[in-house]
Amino acid sequence: MYTQPELLATRPNEVWSWDITKLKGPVKWTYYYLYVILDLFSRYVVGWMIAERESATLAQRLIADSCNKQKIVKDQLTLHADRGSSMKSKAVVLLLADLGVTKTHSRPHVSNDNPFSESQFKTMKYRPEFPERFGSLQDARAFGCAFFPWYNGEHRHSGVALYTPSDVHYGRVHEVHQRRQAALDAAYQRSPNRFLHKPPEAALPPQAVWINPPKEAAKTTD
């Protein structure tokens, strides 16, 4: 029996998840394929690509490029994916072995073992500028070139206490937190009656992020 993966990230570039989603092309039954690699801890998109087909060779290239850009060393990273053909391909398996990257997969026929990638796709597809169909591959790539910088650098992500993924990934949380706390302190000084019980405290992102936490960990993070 294939057991559920229990993956823990306590810093960036410790666990990534990746997936592929279809984007509708200009006419019925035509699609483009969006590949996205997401850092579990920061929600930062470390790599993406839009292609005309789903291909293990293209996935292999994206993974290698992303590891190179993030300066991943052997035995540093776990890469999680569902059980699609590209994810389980021999080319990808051999690449991960060469890079010293541990691989995990979702359980067969289980839809929620890769929730972070699915959530990122949902954020993208619910953006008001996301079209019903893309007129061409170039149009789809142009959308990605606008969306992913926004997602990484401007999107206030609820999963990381409304910091941007870039702030968390590149260690800027402390300075942003200080600015937020200063603004809250000033608001409290001006109107303490607006706040019940105690002065407000700026939130911080979670210190640990799980896919399928064991029961003990789930209790401590609720």
Query: In this predicted model, what pLDDT tens digit does every residue of 119-168 receive, in sequence order?
Result: 999 999 999 999 999 999 999 999 999 999 999 999 999 999 999 999 99
Ranges 88-92, 110-114, 117-121: which has the least confidence = 110-114
Cβ atoms within 10 Å of 21's Cβ, excluding its own: 17
Cβ atoms within 10 Å of 198's Cβ, excluding its own: 7
Model pLDDT, residue 84? 77
Distance CA 121, CA 144 (A): 12
Residue 72 near residue 13 (C-beta atoms within 8 A): yes
Residue 67 near residue 77 (C-beta atoms within 8 A): yes
Average pLDDT over residues 90-114: 82
What domains lie within the chain, and their CATH numbers? 7-160 (3.30.420.10)
